[in-house]
């Protein structure tokens, strides 16, 4: 069981890092500067090309683990949150198709504007609904008795807390991606390099400037409305340490920018995002859903499949780990080398 849960959380963490950078790049394109727009798109293609080709493998792996290893948990979340999950799937299809056509279409004409528009807005759409789904799970307004349609399928996600988490995730991924793009912009030359570096620096500052107050509102909301997951933040030393370290890295990032050591920015960004994920996951575990008001509790251990199924899942995951990781690392290396040459 421990091995299965470890692979599950590693898969979700990798998806957050790689797909998060991908989503954030799309969101930033909504706020493109007036100059060098095509250069910005080319920079995104170069930076995200190695990532988007294979990042959904981690989401698929996580879904398979949930479906096979924790069927009750998988069923409950997919049924109750079927509306935001459907919105996520629609967004993934639109943004993936748009990026593919923009990246590989041999004919460069006005259709590129449509591709870019779909890619940018569907990135914002998808990220928002992922955040809403996460917020709904953290708030935990699930009910043992399914009374009516609104209470069962609308109320769990249509409230202040999930909506705030949706906006927070959009700003957070925009911030992380902007730190990546500052380093990527350094590969350009002359006026283009200076403009793009300054542009993404400002985008990072604006994004974190919005994310911090939204995060403060989320914590306050959780305290006043007695949301278990948020209240536990203040009683969980490890979570507070993770969030504290993530905040301290903001100061380090400021020093790095001042000293123009821009290649360190993406590592700081990845570390910040990882600390936030680790803190939230540790705080929530072992419950996926925990709501004392509705008396609804759903933990990984109590919703696990029979031991015989878990044993077979462990064997399958060991084989998959051996098969997937080496080719994935090699694939990333090949794509990165090709984008550098380009």
Q: pLDDT tens digit string along 115-139?
A: 888 888 999 999 999 999 999 988 8
Confidence of residue 91 (pLDDT cuts 50, 70, 90): very high
Question: Mean pLDDT highest for which of 98-112, 154-168, 178-192, 328-342?
Answer: 154-168
Q: Is the preceding omega at residue 224 within 30 degrees of 0, hence cis?
A: no
Mean pLDDT computed over 205-223: 85
Q: Is the pLDDT of residue 184 over 90?
A: no
Cβ proximity of 32 and 203 under 8 Å = no
Tell me what pLDDT residue 157 has.
92
Q: Is the pLDDT of residue 81 over 70?
A: yes
What mean pLDDT is reported for the chain? 82
What is the model's pTM?
Answer: 0.88
Confidence of residue 335 (pLDDT cuts 50, 70, 90): low
Tell me what pLDDT residue 33 has.
66
Count the neighbouring beta carbons within 10 Å of the beta carbon of residue 135: 26
Q: What tens digit of pLDDT does each residue of 226-245 get?
A: 777 777 777 788 888 988 89
How does strand 287-291 pair with strand 296-299? antiparallel
Q: Is the pLDDT of residue 271 over 60?
A: yes
Q: What tens digit of pLDDT does each residue of 157-175 get?
A: 998 899 999 999 999 888 8
Q: Is the pLDDT of residue 266 over 90?
A: no
DSSP-H helix ranges across the chain:
2-30, 37-52, 56-69, 71-80, 82-104, 111-139, 149, 160-185, 190-224, 228-231, 237-258, 265-284, 307-341
Three-state DSSP class for residue 233: helix
Mean pLDDT computed over 312-341: 75
Token pair 């170069």 in the structure block, residue? 46
Strand-pair partners of 298: 289
Distance, CA of 160 to chain centre: 20
Confidence of residue 283 (pLDDT cuts 50, 70, 90): confident
Cβ proximity of 187 and 266 under 8 Å = no
Of residues 152 and 331, more confidently modeled: 152
Tell me what pLDDT residue 121 has.
92
Confidence of residue 70 (pLDDT cuts 50, 70, 90): very high
């Amino acid at each position: 069981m421990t091995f299965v849960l470890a692979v599950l959380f590693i898969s979700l963490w990798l998806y957050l890092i790689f797909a998060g950078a991908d989503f954030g790049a799309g969101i930033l394109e909504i706020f493109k500067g007036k100059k060098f727009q095509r250069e910005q798109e080319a920079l995104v293609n170069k930076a995200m090309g190695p990532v988007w080709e294979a990042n959904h493998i981690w989401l698929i792996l996580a879904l398979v683990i949930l479906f096979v290893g924790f069927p009750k948990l998988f069923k409950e979340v997919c049924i109750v949150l079927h509306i935001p999950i459907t919105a996520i799937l629609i967004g993934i299809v639109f943004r993936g198709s748009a990026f593919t056509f923009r990246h590989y279409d041999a004919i460069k004409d006005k259709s590129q504007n449509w591709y870019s528009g779909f890619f940018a807005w569907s990135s914002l759409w998808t990220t928002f609904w992922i955040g809403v789904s996460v917020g709904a799970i953290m708030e935990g307004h699930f009910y043992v008795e399914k009374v009516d349609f609104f209470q069962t399928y609308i109320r769990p996600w249509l409230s202040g807390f999930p909506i705030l988490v949706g906006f927070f995730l959009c700003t957070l991924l925009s911030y992380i991606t902007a730190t990546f793009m500052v380093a990527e912009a350094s590969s350009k030359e002359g006026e283009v390099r200076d403009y793009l570096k300054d542009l993404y620096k400002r985008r990072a500052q604006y994004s974190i400037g919005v994310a911090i107050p939204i995060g403060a509102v989320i914590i306050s909301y959780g305290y006043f409305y007695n949301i278990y997951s948020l209240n536990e933040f203040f009683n969980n030393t490890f979570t507070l340490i993770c969030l504290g370290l993530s905040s301290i890295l903001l100061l380090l990032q400021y020093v790095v920018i001042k000293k123009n050591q821009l290649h360190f920015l993406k590592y700081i960004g990845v570390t910040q995002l990882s600390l936030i994920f680790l803190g939230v996951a540790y705080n929530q575990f072992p419950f996926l859903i925990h709501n004392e008001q509705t008396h609804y509790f759903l933990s990984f251990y109590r919703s696990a499949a029979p031991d015989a199924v878990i044993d077979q899942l462990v064997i399958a995951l060991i084989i998959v780990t051996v098969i997937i990781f080496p080719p994935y690392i090699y694939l990333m290396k090949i794509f990165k080398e090709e984008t550098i040459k380009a």
